[in-house]
Structure 1
Amino acid sequence: MPKYTKKDYWIIGSLLFLSLVPSIAGAIRLLQLVTGANYTVENQRFFNDPIPVFVHIVAVIVFSILGAFQFAPGFRKKHIVWHRRTGKVLVGLGLFSALSGLWLTIMYPKVPTDGDWLFSIRLVVGIWMAFCIIWGYRSIRQKNVVRHSHWMIRGYAIGMGAGTQVFTHLPWFIFVGGDPSGIPRDLMMGAGWLINFLVAEWMVRKKSL
């Protein structure tokens, strides 16, 4: 019977920690939409069309939390049936996350603090995440476990971009203060996804050796 190792606890704990701030922020946003609290010009778009943002937030939160347990080897081997069943749910949640994110990018009015680059970055990220998850699902249907693992790592990493963006924004909040806008915001948002992309590729290369 497989046993949990320090590596399992480290992987699950780290991914849950990375999910913490975005999950709390998402829960607060949902509460605001339900109660109508803190209505401002900046978040007006959410109140005018709340369903897509509801779908996006719920899908991202559950995707990030459940996904944290999928990549710990000992946990996965000990709970292989749970892994498979949850994996099917995560495919749907991941696609909901990516596609609702694309919907929000295309259909919602531009946020005043967003620069000119962020729209294109979000399109690339959303399409890439959807592609990774679809390819990961296709791979496991073809019984290619290794390729499935690689593509799901990539898809999950992009889905966790909001967690890394907390850290890419941190120096700005500490040394500059206030909310960034324009090119600095675009770069910090893009850096979160880029870091996760690079870490995912490093993990895939490491697993391939």
Structure 2
Amino acid sequence: MKSLSRSEWTLLACIMVYSFIPAVGGLIRVLELAGGPAIAPENPRALSDPFPITLHILTSFLFCIVGALLFLPSIRRHHRATHRAVGRIIVIAGGISAASGLWMTHTYVFPGDLQGNLLYWVRMVLGSLMIGLIVWAVIAIRSRNVFQHSASMLRAYAIGQGASTQAILGIGWIVIVGSEAMGSMRDGLMVFAWGLNLLVAEVLIRRLL
């Protein structure tokens, strides 16, 4: 890790800060479900069926935080064994994160204010797409197609990081409006966050890969 450039350390720090709210909030929820103090707002769905949300939080944490290492040029070029080892972990974590997200979306009973039809179907489509992108990334690297591998993983990462953008947009909405977005507005903000992430991913693919 000593060979990382200053810009790469800066990128890692930015990702950590960007991921802070959903990462820390998720870990607090896991501690609560494990018997710790109730700090986060009550979530009756998690309390009634804690396994999928615990699985989702832990694997999403790995995918979003540890997965950032895969995009650093120094790791790819000078620490290939590390890149491959982390990559295997991230592929499994990303797949489980997406699958558990689909599980919760389909089986948890959400109030209409928290998930309407739009958000349900977008979650189902993007969760399935994330799994497909990860599988395609594995196929591509086995065929030595580095560009398709990197592009597919970056797109999957953009989907996986949706919670971070959603948290920022949600906080911004509260600051501007004075209350939390609910119902169709909440659905729209969350869908917009994924769209924004995927747009940024496409720009990065065309400029950097």
Corresponding residue number in structure 2 for 1:78: 78
Corresponding residue number in structure 2 for 1:22: 22
Asked if 2 retains the 8 angstrom alpha-carbon contact of 1:95 and 1:133, the reply is: yes
Corresponding residue number in structure 2 for 1:169: 170
Corresponding residue number in structure 2 for 1:47: 47
1:1-209 → structure 2 map (5 Å cutoff): 3-35=3-35, 37-38=37-38, 43-114=43-114, 115-207=116-208
RMSD: 2.1
Percent identity at matched positions? 36
Asked if 2 retains the 8 angstrom alpha-carbon contact of 1:59 and 1:94, the reply is: yes
- Offset, 1:19: 1.6
What TM-score comes out, normalization by structure 2 length? 0.91
What is the identity, as a one-letter code, of the residue corresponding to 1:135? W
In structure 2, relative to structure 1, the CA distance for the partners of 1:118 and 1:42 (3 Å cut) is: farther
Deviation sequence 1:143-163 (CA, Å, 0-9, x none):
111110110111111101111
Flag structure 1 segments of 5+ consecutive residues without an equivalent. none
- Offset, 1:5: 2.2
Provide the rounded CA distance (Å) in 1 between the counterparts of 2:70 and 2:148. 15
Asked if 2 retains the 8 angstrom alpha-carbon contact of 1:52 and 1:104, the reply is: yes
Deviation sequence 1:23-46 (CA, Å, 0-9, x none):
101011112212275499961111
What TM-score comes out, normalization by structure 1 length? 0.91
Runs (4+) of structure 1 exceeding 4 A deviation are 36-42
Q: SS at the partner of 1:121? A: helix
Asked if 2 retains the 8 angstrom alpha-carbon contact of 1:101 and 1:126, the reply is: yes
Q: SS at the partner of 1:130? A: helix
Provide the rounded CA distance (Å) in 2 between the counterparts of 1:22 and 1:68. 15
Provide the rounded CA distance (Å) in 2 between the counterparts of 1:70 and 1:150. 12
Asked if 1 retains the 8 angstrom alpha-carbon contact of 2:25 and 2:40, the reply is: no
When structure 1 is superposed on structure 2, of 100-109 and 62-71 the one drifting more is 62-71
Asked if 2 retains the 8 angstrom alpha-carbon contact of 1:56 and 1:101, the reply is: yes
- Offset, 1:75: 3.1
Asked if 1 retains the 8 angstrom alpha-carbon contact of 2:75 and 2:82, the reply is: no
In structure 2, relative to structure 1, the CA distance for the partners of 1:41 and 1:80 (3 Å cut) is: closer
In structure 2, relative to structure 1, the CA distance for the partners of 1:12 and 1:111 (3 Å cut) is: same
In structure 2, relative to structure 1, the CA distance for the partners of 1:40 and 1:21 (3 Å cut) is: closer
What is the identity, as a one-letter code, of the residue corresponding to 2:58? V
When structure 1 is superposed on structure 2, of 73-82 and 122-131 the one drifting more is 73-82
Provide the rounded CA distance (Å) in 2 between the counterparts of 1:36 and 1:107. 25
In structure 2, relative to structure 1, the CA distance for the partners of 1:40 and 1:14 (3 Å cut) is: closer
Provide the rounded CA distance (Å) in 2 between the counterparts of 1:203 and 1:137. 20
Provide the rounded CA distance (Å) in 1 between the counterparts of 2:65 and 2:181. 28
